[in-house]
Homo-oligomer: A and B are copies of this chain.
């Protein structure tokens, strides 16, 4: 009796070997022992016709699970190649939330064609679930949950759960509802097992529970599952009736998508969690997601242009200023981006709040001071090292010029570090997402400041105009 156990890397290899029907049929025994997700991954590249030869070897319930784990595009192409009748059989067995996701991307005509082949129960379920917007709890919830009444004994409850269970995705929490589906509380399967059989469900009932509303933002719902370490969160409509559950794996998906969104937002790429797949997004859509920020930044850059333009005379008199202008701007931009990154993430994880802004800025000022010292010394050495043969007005030695540039950079790094930390806090205070303070935007702002410091200081010391 050999037991098979899987490791990540070996699985990938098995999956890659699945080329050609013959070979696949030979691998069937292995395939049948693999987790559903891996079977799905291994089969996702197979042609629809061959796919069904293999799928037939699995029980219908597993067929539907394997199919549901395909990417939506693959699901759609299978749908378009099967007869409605045959497809409906598979469709009905799919997990409710995956079913609704697929239904939502069908054309109206395809939806109309499919609906008559579904049982009344599935039809109503699909129509209800696909009516919720993608980014709400309703858009991701499942209707596969178990319920019992509060007046049942634990023995009766176990009996009901046993009967219902094969069709329910998650029965670790069993929800207790009254006649009109109002949620009264929950019991865990663990409670049921531990309780004496004759005890009433009511005695074990947890009446104080965390829940989400069906129209609530899905990120809120994921945050609750995260914070309270739940396996599943019940979802209620505004009448407090239980309409679905969101499970821990959905929460993880949402948090992953949120992170993509945050990172892109922060780097000045627009986009939402739904259209995140790189390959499926068209060139023009990629372009659209990036052009807004690039153009905005270029327009804001006009201000820098005006400042430099204003000091054109100074530049003409001391070309050496032009040479080190980018160095000062970049050092500020880098330092500001760093502090913004750290603060944005700390806010997202709830490590700091807007209330403690004084402490944060004070801390950043001290950090900025230390960074500025290092970079200032470096800048001074750079000027002296690189420009020892540069022509400059004779009245000022290279040491003085290097000193002025280093001091400007020193000030720029301190200010940039503090500004990089202050902006996300300010945006948060105004009730928006701190990640919108994109790193390129901070760079543009501190560049403007940097130019003012740089030219202001130089003009003052060297008496330029």
A295-B378 contact, Cβ under 8 Å, with A229-B37, A249-B229:
yes
The answer to whether B342 touches A278 (Cβ under 8 A) is: yes
What 5 new A-B contacts, CB under 8 Å, besides A229-B249, A267-B337? A37-B229, A256-B349, A259-B259, A267-B341, A305-B382
Q: How many copies does the complex hold?
A: 2
Counting CB contacts under 8 A, is A96 at the interface? no
Q: How far is the CB of A113 from chain B (nearest CB, A)?
A: 31
Counting CB contacts under 8 A, is A396 at the interface? no
The answer to whether B268 touches A337 (Cβ under 8 A) is: yes
- By beta carbon, the residue of chain B nearest A324 is B305
Once the chains are docked, how many angstroms separate the CA of A389 from the CA of B68?
Answer: 65
Q: Which residues of A contact B (CB under 8 A)?
A: 3-6, 8, 33-35, 37, 158, 161-162, 165-166, 171-172, 184-185, 189-190, 193-194, 207-211, 220, 223-224, 226-229, 231, 248-249, 251-252, 255-256, 259-260, 262-264, 266-269, 276-279, 283-284, 286-287, 290-291, 293-295, 297-299, 301-302, 304-306, 308-309, 312, 315-316, 319, 322-327, 329-331, 333-335, 337-339, 341-343, 345-346, 349, 351-352, 356, 359-360, 363, 366-367, 370-371, 374-375, 378-379, 382, 386-387, 390, 439-440, 443-444, 447
Which residues from B are CB-within-8-Å of A345? Answer: 259-260, 263-264, 276
The answer to whether A283 touches B337 (Cβ under 8 A) is: no
Which among B298, B308, B370 is the interface contact of A375 at CB below 8 angstroms? Answer: B298
Which residues from B are CB-within-8-Å of A5? Answer: 208-209, 211
Once the chains are docked, how many angstroms separate the CA of A37 from the CA of B210?
Answer: 11
Which residues from B are CB-within-8-Å of A370? Answer: 283-284, 287, 291
Which residues from B are CB-within-8-Å of A444? Answer: 330
Which among B3, B207, B262, B447 is the interface contact of A208 at CB below 8 angstroms? Answer: B3
The answer to whether B260 touches A208 (Cβ under 8 A) is: no
A3-B184 contact, Cβ under 8 Å, with A249-B229, A305-B386, A329-B326:
yes
Which residues from B are CB-within-8-Å of A309? Answer: 323, 386-387, 390
The answer to whether A440 touches B207 (Cβ under 8 A) is: no
Which among B193, B316, B334, B447 is the interface contact of A162 at CB below 8 angstroms? Answer: B193
Once the chains are docked, how many angstroms separate the CA of A301 from the CA of B409?
Answer: 14
Which residues from B are CB-within-8-Å of A375? Answer: 294-295, 298
Q: How far is the CB of A69 from chain B (nearest CB, A)?
A: 9
Once the chains are docked, how many angstroms separate the CA of A339 from the CA of B264?
Answer: 10
Which residues from B are CB-within-8-Å of A302? Answer: 382, 386
Q: How far is the CB of A349 from chain B (nearest CB, A)?
A: 7
Q: How far is the CB of A410 from chain B (nearest CB, A)?
A: 13
The answer to whether B231 touches A337 (Cβ under 8 A) is: no
Nearest 5 pairs of A and B residues by beta carbon:
A278-B346, A322-B322, A229-B249, A267-B341, A33-B208
The answer to whether B194 touches A335 (Cβ under 8 A) is: no
The answer to whether A374 touches B291 (Cβ under 8 A) is: yes
Which residues from B are CB-within-8-Å of A297? Answer: 330-331, 334
